[in-house]
Amino acid sequence: MKAQPQFINDWKAKLWARFFCLSVYVTMYLNDCQRTDFYEGIGLNTRI
């Protein structure tokens, strides 16, 4: 990527990066919400 910076410096690449980060965080949040019983079972506090 450093050899071809034109692929990472345009607005489309930045939009894709934001979308990717958002999708990772949403997936992680939904996974944590669905596994509340498991986390409480191992002694973690799941309440915000």
Average pLDDT over residues 16-44: 88
- Tens digits of residue pLDDT in 16-27: 999 999 999 999
What torsion do the CA atoms of 16, 19, 20, 26 make, to the nearest 10 degrees? 180
Place of tokens 């607005």: 11
pTM greater than 0.75 (yes/no) = no
Quick one: how far is CA 24 from the chain centroid? 2
Q: Show the DSSP H helices in the chain as ranges.
A: 11-34, 36-41
Cα dihedral sign for 3, 4, 7, 10? positive
Range of the domain at 32: 10-40
Asked if residue 23 is part of any domain, the answer here is: yes
Number of domains into which the chain is organized = 1
